[in-house]
Amino acid sequence: MAKVRAVAIMTKRKSEDAKAAAEKISKMLRAAGVGTFAISPLKISGCDTIEPEQAKGKADLVFAIGGDGTTLKAFRVIPGDIPLLSINIGGHRGILSEVYTNNMESAVKEMLAGKCFYDSRIRIQASAGKEAFPPALNEILLTRADLSRTPTVSIKLMGDEIKHRMDGIVVSTPTGSTGHNLSIGGPVLHEGMSCLILSPIAPVNKMPQIVIPVEEIVVKSTHRMHIVVDGQETFTVKAGQEVRVARYPHDVRFLRLQKKGMRQLAKLGF
């Protein structure tokens, strides 16, 4: 990998532990001659603060310090495919994380020495009409907005159409297979695979989870639907409006220090 000249740091909001880690890491980086930026609203002593969209062109690498939620948000708000090192401080599981509090300083030294590699993952994006919603690394949830009514959901994929009464569906990437998908009985996939998981939510007639190629999926409901992106942002579409879910053109790149087989399963304790 190319030499890292500048790093942008993003932290979990309102986490003093994450902010303290950012200060410590910033000092290490600057002592090694690496430029450091803080991503707003974070403030780091001796560093300029920039907006997320400014990271492109200024930084070669992003540090996301917090939990999985911080990592997911960082990939969503920072443009392009800038690689990211995920540091779990204050998160619950840290399934996406590479570094923890106890190995934070040694990890930074390994990164500076070039003892690391990139791990690419696919993303997906939903759109409705001319509106494109933010990209998702884990999953896109399409669920009924009116809790007192069970809609009929139409799913078109690979030239076929499926219609069932159900609460909604989850379209998951392999990275997100250990997230919402797993909680509703979906399969766990190796995160490096190139495919998607389609998981129905409470179908009236039994419908299995389906692993499909990465192709466009068109979803339409007889009632209003909420679109939830990585469990963090929610949008609403009208009844009968087509929602298209397709691969996002920019994959994400994690910075990794160690090769692992089923990384996510190991993090879950299996």
Query: What CA–CA distance (Å, rounded) separates 243 from 130?
Result: 11
Per the annotation, the verdict on 167 as an active-site residue is no
Residue from 17, 60, 68, 146 carrying the catalytic annotation: 68
Query: What CA–CA distance (Å, rounded) separates 73 from 76?
Result: 5
Two tokens at 16? 């003093």
- DSSP reduced 3-state for 191: coil
Percent helix / strand / coil, the chain, rounded to 5: 20, 35, 45
Place of tokens 């998908």: 181
User: How many CA atoms within 13 Å lie on the side-chain side of 60?
Assistant: 12
Query: What CA–CA distance (Å, rounded) separates 261 from 174?
Result: 14
Query: What CA–CA distance (Å, rounded) separates 220 from 243?
Result: 6
* Residues identified as active-site: 68
